[in-house]
Chains A and B, each alone.
Chain A
Amino acid sequence: MPITRRGALLTAAASLTVASLAVTRRARAAETIRIGVVSPLTGPAAQVGAIQLNSCRLAAEEINAAGGVLGKPVELVVEDDQTTNPGVVLAFSRLAADPSMVGFIGSIRSTQVNAMAPDVAKVGKPMMFGGTDPTLTHSGYRWLFRCRPNDSFSGRVIADFGVNTLGKKSWAVVHSTDAFGTGGKNAVTDALTKLGATIALEQGYANQQADFTPVVLAIKQSGAEAMCSYFTFEPDLAVFARQLRQLGVRIPWVGSQSIASPVTMGLAKNALYGTYGVADFLTDANPEAIAFTAAYRQQHKENPDSGWTYDALHILARAINAAGTTEPEKIRTAILAIKGYKGAEGTYNFDENGDGLHGYDVEQNTNGKSVFMKRIEFPA
């Protein structure tokens, strides 16, 4: 192709534009601390995603008002994960392609964190996440840091609360037969047995049942003094709760997280009054949660259902400030050094695996409201 004057001019103009773009990009990158956020903006978790993103933005505003990170404002770069695994991998790769990213806020869904984990390892920058599958921080991934308690603690908290606080020695365990329910059942029966309690009944059920009468009758016949449950789907739990009350079972009941979800409480209404549940976040569990909830309410006129993205960004900012640099390895060391940081989800003491929290709140359903009872912590 012969080089015409026109062509040469065009080429020159184009390369100038590219160069100037690159300059502005570098300049902008130097002016802010860029944090990549993957969040479900579309798909079934979009509603939860909106709350997570709002909480994260609230944290960014607070950090920037307090002087930012390394003297620069934090800038959030958000990509939609579509609530799917391919979606999250794509969203992360878009963010990770930008070399100016300092760290990432990941997903609340364990399966999505699992999908991203190999790519996060390749990029070699810290990702704060909220999925609760215990194995995520125990598979040799150095760059994953969890800002919620993992599932291995919920069984221990249920057992501790049931035996030491409620003083019940004979238990019925009701659980979904899926992976979550079976895992929970194993953890809680283990913990109960260690505390000297007996298991009067282990009763599994398949998800999405229309009728729980046989389960309720089995509980009645077992003679258990108390019961705990791992339900995966909220409507199942609500159907079960109502039939339980109709057939006159009133023993104390400590449930896994789903028992305290607003959806379950809305469906089951008074059938769940008086029950206990474990929760990683309660709006009134500690001063930090109360302050966060108030600030969130002021912006969005509703209560947040989780505080982990809010905590995650604060922890990341704090670690970068402590490291004094954006160098990933130094940030990692600084995150792992965080002990006693009081966040909305509880007090963070990072262990060598990257788990920040080691306990749950216990709540009681008091006439349709979740009321904080006590926090049960285990040593890191």
Chain B
Amino acid sequence: MQLLFTGFGIGAIYALVALGFVLLIRAAAVVNFGQGEFAMLGAYLMVIGFNVLALPYWLSIILSVLLMAAFGVVFAATTYWPLRHRGGLPVIISTIGASIFLENLVLVLYGPEAAQIDGLFDAPGIQVGPVFMDSQYLSIIVVAALLVALQYAVFEKTLLGKKLQATSQDKEMASLLGIPVATMILITFAYSSALGGIAGILVAPILFVSTGMAGLIALKAFAANIIGGYGSIPGAILGGLSLGIVETLGAAYISVPYKDAFAFLMLLIFLLVRPQGLFGERIAEKA
């Protein structure tokens, strides 16, 4: 039971980061390998706001998320925009470059020491029968659920959401219909960056803040993405959750040192047996 709970909590983190991946894949057909660094930057902004400038906790969160959204636009303008007509690969490489740049920039500006952020709640967690529920894991699960609900509401129920969807489905058609495609893509980058920032702020109390904190998480979130179905929103969520649970159980019952291997083994199995993922039906259409 304990393992299921932590697996679920870790899975929710993967799902949150995977969500950021999916949005960009859908809106701009970009696989953004800087997604993990978004989380890292969000966490560092939080460190600066809360620990260094001593702002109130909630204000630091709001400021960090807003700054991350603004940063998403800058990221899009520098990393994606100049290369947008060159196809997928140059943009992917450009995001990898940006992620290495960001990691080292923070290293130079902040230094290599890890920092610590307080959790949302003072209480370490609650004991339910034999299971200890860490309050931060609970917050992650709740926030992830809220964000998914919010995202669903925006995408399905608002005009903005419909425009974003139209852009992601067919850019040319969308622009013919008078939808400002460029603005829509910028909004997606801003949202995806803010989402990454939120993920970073949420995991920081558990993993602490360091420049390399998000590397492995981003990689696993990407795997979650493929397991769930490339470009599928419910797929990203289920993929993330199942990945978290599988690796935690695998570590407990088979081998701890090979924990990371279970995640990628699951990815390989899916690529071989069900390459379209849990929810994927769009692969054929894309190919």
Contacting residues, chain B, for A206 (C-beta < 8 A): 256-260
* Contact A235–B251 (Cβ < 8 Å): no
State the total of A-B contacts with C-beta under 8 angstroms: 74
A210 CB–B CB distance under 8 Å: yes
A246 CB–B CB distance under 8 Å: yes
Q: Given A206-B259, A217-B2, A247-B2, do A211 and B10 touch, yes or no (CB 8 Å)?
A: yes
- Whole-angstrom distance between the alpha carbons of A205 and B259 in the complex? 8
B3 CB–A CB distance under 8 Å: yes
Chain A 35-79, CB-CB to B under 8 Å as 1, else 0, gives 000000000100100000000000000000000000000000000
Contacting residues, chain B, for A217 (C-beta < 8 A): 2-3, 252
* Contact A210–B208 (Cβ < 8 Å): no
* Contact B6–A213 (Cβ < 8 Å): yes
User: In the complex, what's the smallest C-beta–C-beta distance from A59 to chain B, in angstroms?
Assistant: 26
User: In the complex, what's the smallest C-beta–C-beta distance from B265 to chain A, in angstroms?
Assistant: 14
Beta-carbon contacts under 8 Å, A242-258 to B: 246-248
- Whole-angstrom distance between the alpha carbons of A235 and B116 in the complex? 10
User: In the complex, what's the smallest C-beta–C-beta distance from A284 to chain B, in angstroms?
Assistant: 24
- Whole-angstrom distance between the alpha carbons of A248 and B131 in the complex? 11
* Contact A213–B210 (Cβ < 8 Å): no
User: In the complex, what's the smallest C-beta–C-beta distance from A32 to chain B, in angstroms?
Assistant: 35
15 CB < 8 A contacts A-B: A206-B258, A210-B203, A210-B206, A210-B217, A213-B3, A213-B6, A214-B248, A215-B256, A217-B2, A218-B256, A235-B208, A238-B114, A246-B125, A246-B134, A247-B2
Binding site for A on B (CB under 8 A): 2-3, 6, 9-10, 13, 107, 111-114, 116, 124-125, 132, 134, 203, 206-208, 210, 212-213, 215-217, 248, 251-252, 256-260
Contacting residues, chain B, for A234 (C-beta < 8 A): 114
Size bracket, chain A contacts = 20 to 34
Q: Given A204-B257, A214-B252, do A239 and B207 touch, yes or no (CB 8 Å)?
A: yes
Contacting residues, chain A, for B259 (C-beta < 8 A): 205-206, 209, 214
* Contact A214–B114 (Cβ < 8 Å): no
* Contact B216–A208 (Cβ < 8 Å): yes
* Contact B2–A210 (Cβ < 8 Å): no
- Whole-angstrom distance between the alpha carbons of A235 and B215 in the complex? 14
Beta-carbon contacts under 8 Å, A214-233 to B: 214-215, 217-218
* Contact A208–B212 (Cβ < 8 Å): yes
- Whole-angstrom distance between the alpha carbons of A215 and B248 in the complex? 10
Give 3 closest A-B pairs by Cβ, nearest first: A214-B252, A214-B251, A213-B6
- Whole-angstrom distance between the alpha carbons of A211 and B262 in the complex? 14
A295 CB–B CB distance under 8 Å: no
Contacting residues, chain A, for B2 (C-beta < 8 A): 213, 217, 247
Contacting residues, chain A, for B116 (C-beta < 8 A): 266-267
* Contact B13–A238 (Cβ < 8 Å): no
* Contact B248–A213 (Cβ < 8 Å): yes
A203 CB–B CB distance under 8 Å: yes
User: In the complex, what's the smallest C-beta–C-beta distance from A213 to chain B, in angstroms?
Assistant: 4
A12 CB–B CB distance under 8 Å: no
Contacting residues, chain B, for A247 (C-beta < 8 A): 2, 132
Q: Which of B107, B206, B207, B260 has the most chain A CB atoms inside 10 A of its CB?
A: B207
A16 CB–B CB distance under 8 Å: no
User: In the complex, what's the smallest C-beta–C-beta distance from A249 to chain B, in angstroms?
Assistant: 11
* Contact A267–B257 (Cβ < 8 Å): no
Contacting residues, chain B, for A248 (C-beta < 8 A): 132
* Contact B256–A238 (Cβ < 8 Å): no
Contacting residues, chain B, for A266 (C-beta < 8 A): 116
- Whole-angstrom distance between the alpha carbons of A177 and B251 in the complex? 14
- Whole-angstrom distance between the alpha carbons of A210 and B248 in the complex? 10
Contacting residues, chain A, for B107 (C-beta < 8 A): 44
Q: Given A215-B256, A246-B124, A246-B134, do A267 and B6 touch, yes or no (CB 8 Å)?
A: no
* B255 and chain A: residue at smallest CB distance: A204
Sample of 14 more A-B contacts, CB < 8 Å, known A215-B256, A239-B207: A47-B113, A205-B259, A208-B212, A208-B216, A210-B203, A210-B207, A213-B3, A214-B252, A215-B251, A234-B114, A235-B207, A239-B206, A246-B134, A267-B208
A263 CB–B CB distance under 8 Å: yes
- Whole-angstrom distance between the alpha carbons of A239 and B132 in the complex? 15
Contacting residues, chain A, for B124 (C-beta < 8 A): 246
User: In the complex, what's the smallest C-beta–C-beta distance from B140 to chain A, in angstroms?
Assistant: 11
User: In the complex, what's the smallest C-beta–C-beta distance from A224 to chain B, in angstroms?
Assistant: 16
* Contact B248–A211 (Cβ < 8 Å): yes
* B213 and chain A: residue at smallest CB distance: A235
Q: Given A235-B210, A247-B132, do A213 and B252 touch, yes or no (CB 8 Å)?
A: yes
* Contact A246–B132 (Cβ < 8 Å): yes
User: In the complex, what's the smallest C-beta–C-beta distance from A239 to chain B, in angstroms?
Assistant: 6
* A45 and chain B: residue at smallest CB distance: B112
- Whole-angstrom distance between the alpha carbons of A211 and B112 in the complex? 22
Contacting residues, chain B, for A210 (C-beta < 8 A): 10, 13, 203, 206-207, 216-217
Contacting residues, chain A, for B210 (C-beta < 8 A): 235
User: In the complex, what's the smallest C-beta–C-beta distance from A98 to chain B, in angstroms?
Assistant: 32
* Contact B257–A205 (Cβ < 8 Å): yes
* B111 and chain A: residue at smallest CB distance: A47
- Whole-angstrom distance between the alpha carbons of A215 and B124 in the complex? 20
User: In the complex, what's the smallest C-beta–C-beta distance from B8 to chain A, in angstroms?
Assistant: 11
* B10 and chain A: residue at smallest CB distance: A211
Contacting residues, chain B, for A203 (C-beta < 8 A): 256
- Whole-angstrom distance between the alpha carbons of A203 and B259 in the complex? 13
- Whole-angstrom distance between the alpha carbons of A152 and B259 in the complex? 29
Contacting residues, chain B, for A205 (C-beta < 8 A): 256-257, 259
* A234 and chain B: residue at smallest CB distance: B114
Q: Contact check: which of A44, A47, A177, A239 meets B257 at CB < 8 Å?
A: A177
Q: Given A206-B260, A246-B125, A267-B208, do A235 and B3 touch, yes or no (CB 8 Å)?
A: no
Contacting residues, chain B, for A215 (C-beta < 8 A): 251, 256
User: In the complex, what's the smallest C-beta–C-beta distance from A153 to chain B, in angstroms?
Assistant: 26
User: In the complex, what's the smallest C-beta–C-beta distance from B283 to chain A, in angstroms?
Assistant: 30
User: In the complex, what's the smallest C-beta–C-beta distance from B73 to chain A, in angstroms?
Assistant: 29
* B249 and chain A: residue at smallest CB distance: A214
* B209 and chain A: residue at smallest CB distance: A235
